[in-house]
Amino acid sequence: MKIDLRTFHEGDTPLEISVKTADLNFLEVDGIQADRAHVKLLVHRDDNIYRVSGTITSICTFTCNRCLKEFDREICGGFELVIRALRENESPVKITEEEDILDQQDDINIVRYDQNQYNLTESLRDAFLLAISYKNLCSDNCRGICSGCGVHLNEEECRCKSKLVDSRLKVLEKLKKSIN
């Protein structure tokens, strides 16, 4: 997704765009499906410096890591970026004092750019992928699939005939039976 830097005037400019997720190339993670993403940007221009903050939101279909059931969840990721347009005859290597200060902040990426358009695809993709949980569960109390009989434990009880008991706990089992 490219933005044309020439269209932004001094001050704040909000921008909202709906994009196809295929255009952003961020669905390379197994078990995730989404058709569209909504992008909200706020671009603050101060001379040749553009501060871009934004969010990307999408309803995604995931496969539960425990029970393998598909479920939908909204994913929302945010990012901040500083784009510094180079002036004519300016060296792309020279770092200004303001850039040096901004570069020391952990959450802000600084990019020097000498074209009129800037491609936000990588920033949007990174923000989105970082917002996805490492473990995708259909619910916090998902019990998954029984490793013995293969039954979906959220929908029915386990059909395993014998429950394996750790031999070290047999003494406690005998004590429990004697109390009952």
- 65-123: per-residue pLDDT in tens? 999 999 999 999 999 888 877 656 555 445 555 555 555 554 555 565 657 778 888 88
In the chain, % of residues over pLDDT 70 = 77
Q: What is the pLDDT of residue 98?
A: 57
Question: Do 80 and 151 share a domain, yes or no?
Answer: no
Q: What average pLDDT is seen over the chain?
A: 79
Report the DSSP pairing between strands 11-20 and 36-46.
Answer: antiparallel
Strand partners, 42: 14, 53
Shared domain check, 150 and 120: no
Indicate if 123 and 79 belong to the same structural domain. yes
Q: Which one-letter amino acid corresponds to residue 109? A: N
Q: b/e string for 29-64 if b means 16 or more Cβ within 10 A?
A: eeebebeebebebebebeeebbbbebbbbbebebeb
Candidates 12, 20, 137; CA nearest to 70 is 137
pLDDT at 147 over 70: yes
Residue 171 belongs to a domain: yes
Say whether both 73 and 161 belong to one domain. no
Confidence class for position 125, pLDDT limits 50, 70, 90: confident
pLDDT greater than 70 at residue 26? no
| CA-to-CA separations, 62 to 86, 122, 132, 151, in angstroms, rounded | 42, 22, 10, 20
State whether 42 and 115 are in the same domain: yes
Three-state DSSP at 132 gives coil
Query: DSSP letter string over 57-120?
Result: EEEEEEE-TTT--EEEEEEEEEEEEEEEEPPTT--SS---HHHHHHHTSTT-EEEEE-SSEEE-
By the 8 A CB rule, do 153 and 145 touch? Answer: yes
Same domain, 99 and 38: yes
Q: Which domain holds residue 61?
A: 2-131
Termini Cα distance of the chain: 68
What is the pLDDT at residue 49?
A: 81
pLDDT at 54: 92
Token pair 């750019």 in the structure block, residue: 113
% of the chain beyond a pLDDT of 90: 22
pLDDT at 119: 83
Q: What are 149-175's pLDDT values in tens digits? A: 888 989 988 887 666 667 788 888 888
Number of domains in the chain: 2
- The residue with greater pLDDT, 57 or 129, is 57
Does the pLDDT value for residue 55 go beyond 90? yes
So what's the pLDDT on residue 106?
46
Give the H/E segment covering residue 2: strand 2-4
Residues 6 and 79 in one domain: yes
In a domain, 138, yes or no: no
Same domain flag for 36 and 124: yes
Read off the pTM: 0.68
pLDDT value, residue 29: 61
Q: Give mean pLDDT, residues 34-48.
A: 88
Same domain for 19 and 106? Answer: yes
Residue 136 domain flag: no
Is residue 100 located within the same domain as residue 149?
Answer: no
Same domain, 119 and 155: no
